[in-house]
Amino acid sequence: MKKNNVILQTTAKVTFFIIFLFSIHIFFAGHFAPGGGFVGGLLTTGAIVLLLLAFDLETVKATLPFNFTVVIGVGLLLSLGTAAGSILFNVPFFTHAFAHFELPLFGDTELHTAMIFDSGVYLVVVGAAITIIQSIGGDE
């Protein structure tokens, strides 16, 4: 079924970046406000699914040439690594650390190790969701 998708495709190209940036915002908001790696990851997946709907599997694979299984692995390693970092300091597993830093442009910023853990979650969610969608969508 060949359809004329110009409107959808043009809108999708713009909307993708809006959703993606919003997902990053949600991701960073996560520590003190509602949001976080899981929701952010799902939003990013939503943006990629929009591209999948507007174009097709091959185009999206060419645009985002990641092996999403590896993305899951990297995400898991990041999360486990952050949690296991506490072993080095002989404090209970999952204990996180934070401190205030004077950063240029941002000013006084609170940095958390929980952030690294959350980015692992983000990668796992994106990797897993896209892998599922690709393998179901790619099945003839």
Residues at the site binding another protein, with contacts judged by CB under 8 A? 69-70, 72-73, 76-77, 80, 84, 86-87, 90-96
Q: How far apart are CA 139 and CA 136, in angstroms?
A: 5
DSSP label of 96:
-
Dihedral of alpha carbons 64, 128, 82, 21, sign? positive
Number of other residues whose CB lies within 10 A of the CB of residue 49: 16
Q: Looking at beta carbons only, is 89 or 106 nearer to another protein?
A: 89
Q: How far is the CB of 3 from another protein (least distance, A)?
A: 34
Tokens 């650390």 belong to 97
3-state secondary structure of 108: strand
Q: How far is the CB of 58 from another protein (least distance, A)?
A: 22
Q: How far is the CB of 95 from another protein (least distance, A)?
A: 4
Q: Looking at beta carbons only, is 32 or 89 nearer to another protein?
A: 89
Q: Looking at beta carbons only, is 15 or 86 nearer to another protein?
A: 86
